[in-house]
Amino acid sequence: MRKTLKGLLTTALLVGGLAAATGPVSESEIHFALSKSAPVADTSVETVTEIRLWFTEAPSEGTTSIRLLDADEEPIHTMDIQQDSEDERVFSVATHGALPAGSYSVAWRGMGADGHVVRETFAFTVIGQ
């Protein structure tokens, strides 16, 4: 009985120690993700001349794309994708002038340092001025 109790206590201490050593895992530690966008997802804005995305980590070089789509999911031509010179986690594409009123979506993809490719889409609406 005494050996069983000692064994259980040892096991509990080992498991507890491992859990404390690893701690909680945040979403950004799991894989590359979008942390914010401009325009903000699922919002209405007066004008848009650029799509800007902030990621939780710098994506692997050459893996990031940003596509702007209209309400019919047809691509809208934008300028080339740009990486922010001061923050390597930030990417943007400029539009050819202000977008007309309507519904739009942004489809983006990128690959984090862990090798996982992440693809997501979010929508926004331009209400005009």
33: left (phi over 0), alpha (psi -120 to 50) or beta: beta
pLDDT for res 90: 98
- Residue 75 CA to residue 71 CA, distance in Å, equals 10
Confidence of residue 12 (pLDDT cuts 50, 70, 90): very low
Distance between CA atoms of 54 and 87, rounded to whole angstroms? 9
Tokens found for residue 13:
């201490």
pLDDT at 16 over 60: no
* Predicted structure pTM score: 0.76
Show Cβ contacts of residue 126 under 8 Å, excluding neighbours closer than 6 positions: 44, 45, 46, 47, 48, 99, 100, 101, 102, 104
- On the question of pLDDT at 28 being above 80, the answer is no
Over the stretch 98-114, which tens digit does the pLDDT of each residue have?
A: 999 999 999 999 999 88
Least confident piece of the model among 25-29, 50-54, 58-62:
25-29
pLDDT value at position 31? 73
